[in-house]
Structure formats: C-alpha cells, structure tokens
Amino acid sequence: MLSAPVLAAAPAYLAAPAPSTPLGPFEDSAVSWASWVTLMSFVGLLALAVAVAAPARALDDRAARLVRGRLTWAAVVAGVLAFPAVLTDRARSGSGYDYSGAWHKLFDGSTAGLLAGFEAVLPLIAALILLPVVLRRGLASRLITSLRLTALLLGVVALAATRIPAKAPAPADRARTAFQTFMWMLHLVGGAVWVGGLIGLVVLAVRSALDSGFWSAAIRRFAAAAMGCVAAITLSGLFLYWSHVDGPTQLFTTMYGRVLGVKILLFGSLLVLGAVNQFWLHPRIDALRAAGDDRPLRTVLARRFPAVVGVEVALILALLFVAPFLHGSARNQAYQADVAEHTTNPKAKLPKLPQKEVSASTWIEGTAETAAVLVVTVAGYRFSGRLARRRADRAGQAGQAGQASLANQSAQGVQPGQPGAATT
C-alpha cells in the first residue's frame, strides 16, 4: 500500500478507476510473433551453419554441400520473410495497417527511422549476400565463411535495432541505458541461437542421411551453444525481472506479472526438457552410434525421442508468442492501481514510479547470480559430456564383445540361431 506521505503529496490523483492493462489484440501479437520468429531464426540458422561447417567438411564434399545448402537456403527464406513481417509489424495502427506510412518512415532521417530501416532491410540484404553460397558450388571455404559472418553480423544488428533507444539518454542515465541494452542483446541473441539452431537441426535431419560422425559432432556443438544461450537468457532475464517486478506477489496481482509468469513457466519447462536432452537424449544417441547403429538421425529421433523433439519446438514457439504480450511494468501497474483507489479525479493522468536505483547490494547480488549461473552451466555441460562418453564406451565394448563372440562361433562352425549361438 502507498504510504501517507506519498498520498498526501499527490492529492490530485484521488478515486479514479484502476488502470486498464489489456493484453492487446490477438492479431497484433501474431504479427509481432512472425517478425520475431523470422529475425531470430535468421540469426540462429547462420550461427548453426558456422558451428557445424567443420564437422560437415570433415566427412566429404557431398555432406559439406548438403549442410551448407540446406542451412543457407533456410536462412535466405527467413531473411526474405523478415522484411514483410517487420514492415507489417511497423504498419500496425488503430484503424488497420498503414504500409505506405511505415515504408516512408524507414530511413527518414531520424534515429527512429534509421533503426526501423535496419530492422526491416538488413535481413533482406543479408539474404541476398548469401545467394552465391547456394547458387555457386565452386566458392572457396574462406569466401563462404566471410559471406556467412557478414550476413550474421547484419542479422545481429537488425536484432539490436529493436532495442536500441531512439532518443539519446540523459548523461546521468547513459551507463544504465547501455547496460540495459546489453542485457536485451544477451536475451535476444541467446534466444535466436537457440531457436534457429533447433530449426536448423530439424532441417538437416529431414531426408538427409548424413553420416553418424557428423551428427555426433553437430549435436555436441549445438549443445554447447544452447547451454551458453541458457546462461545468457537466464542472466538477462534476472536483470529484466529486477527492473520491472518488485516481488513475486506482482506475478499474480498485475497483468504484466501474470504474462511474465507464463513466460517463466514456459522457459522453465524448456530448461527441464533441455536437461532431458543433455543428460539422456544426447548420451543415448552417442551410445547408439558407438554400438553401430548407423540409421539416419531422423529415424532414431522419430522412433525413440519424438515427444522430446515435438514438445521442445512447441514450447519455443509458444514462448516467442507470449513475449509480445508483455507491456509496461508490473511495478507501475501495481503502483497505479494503488493510487487509483484513492484518487478523486478519474481523468487525471496516473503517475509512474522512477526506475530502480542501483546500489552496492545490487551489484553484489548480480555478481553472485552470474557466478552461480556460469558454474551450473559449465558443470552441467562437462558432466553430460562425461556421461555421453561413458555410455558410448560401454556400448562400444558391448558391440566389440558381440562381434568377437560371433567370430568365435564362426571359427567353431556354429551358425547364428543354432543351439550354442549367442543371443541378444
């Protein structure tokens, strides 16, 4: 509740109805979802392409061309689709969609126009830069890497443009604004690499029949990137929670808090599913490979892990859909609802709380949280790697023992399936 001095200092706000905090039209959220999915998928697909390029080249030219072609084409499609998705998102208005107005605001000479232009146009330019990678087979590896990195940089800049302030902050707020923008970049880039990487693995798994050696290396590399993404999203999410929420009760008493609570539940479910992937799915795949299971990865996943893959894709898409519903701040919504209970002027503009002040305890708690997240992330990745190696070693030893048994039976003239033959 508000203290007596605060209420006494603001008598003009007194017995207005509680402020409305609607979620907004479903259509608007769907349009925002489309723009986020295309932008983030573009960045994540290119990041995965860079990460798995070496394992693909280590096999043969066919595998390298297949991986390069599929991931690059997927990134080109995402980059091209990002332009109409972002433009539609920018064209939203109360009476419909003003595409002409949105188009003329791109690069209109203002900082806001420059950022809007970067967000809409850079992914399209990056997609055009990638076309030689898929249209010409004779490109050198260095040139392909350069084109990918250039396109990836443009995609990251487009993502950054969504959160860079259009107005220069006051000198006293510059450090805070820079840090907050950095936190948003961790949040967005981490999510992009995670989302796009998963989509890229699905694209590669469909009717590709890639060698098991590629999948073992590719999955481990993506797992390392995903663990880093989890750390980045967790740390930035803790900062954003601190900035906009004044306590766990606001997760239930404000609209912002309830939406954020749904997002936290989805992210927590993804963490649980990620732990299942890291400590069960990936070690099982490595063990299957070590035991001589050379079936395509799609067959293994479709028969043994369909629920895990399907639920992970659904949760990530749901998380991206919920995010655009976050409007305002739980702190201000709770504060304004409390002020409205005591106001006498229903038309008065409700006040807002100032931003939280950073203290020494804030830095100490933030440093401790950062260290804890990093320790848990690194320890989890290293433990999952050891678990995978142990299972692979046991499966390999079992396979060698079975082959040795069959060889002995063959030397003794015993046919498999006859009395005395080994059974599995």
Residue 218, both tokens: 């590719």
DSSP assignments along 149-192, one per residue = HHHHHHHHHHHHHTTS-SSPPPGGGHHHHHHHHHHHHHHHHHHH
Residue 260 maps to a domain: yes
Q: How many domains does the chain have?
A: 1
- Domain range spanning residue 269? 25-166+181-350+360-399
**Between these two residues, 307 and 342, which has the higher pLDDT value?**
342
Q: How many CA atoms are closer than 13 Å to the CA of 408, on its beta-carbon side? A: 9
Residue 234 maps to a domain: yes
**Per-residue pLDDT tens digits for 350-401:** 777 777 777 777 778 888 888 888 888 788 777 777 776 676 666 556 555 5
**Per-residue pLDDT tens digits for 159-174:** 999 999 888 888 888 8
CB 47 within 8 Å of CB 225: yes
Least-confidence region, from 90-94, 261-265, 321-325, 379-383: 379-383
Residue 156 maps to a domain: yes
Residue 346 maps to a domain: yes
Residue 370, both tokens: 């950062």
CB 339 within 8 Å of CB 2: yes
CB 161 within 8 Å of CB 115: yes
For tokens 């508000």, the residue is 2
Percent of the chain with pLDDT over 90: 20
**Per-residue pLDDT tens digits for 298-316:** 566 555 554 566 677 778 8
Whole-prediction pTM: 0.80
Residue 176 maps to a domain: no
**Residue 21 belongs to what H/E stretch?**
none
DSSP 305: S
pLDDT tier at 346, thresholds 50, 70, 90 = low
Q: How far apart are CA 74 and CA 89, in angstroms?
A: 22
pLDDT of residue 422: 39
pLDDT of residue 343: 67
Residue 174 maps to a domain: no
Give the contacts of 85 (CB within 8 A, at least 6 positions apart). 31, 34, 35, 37, 38, 39
Residue 417 maps to a domain: no
What is the average pLDDT score of the chain? 78
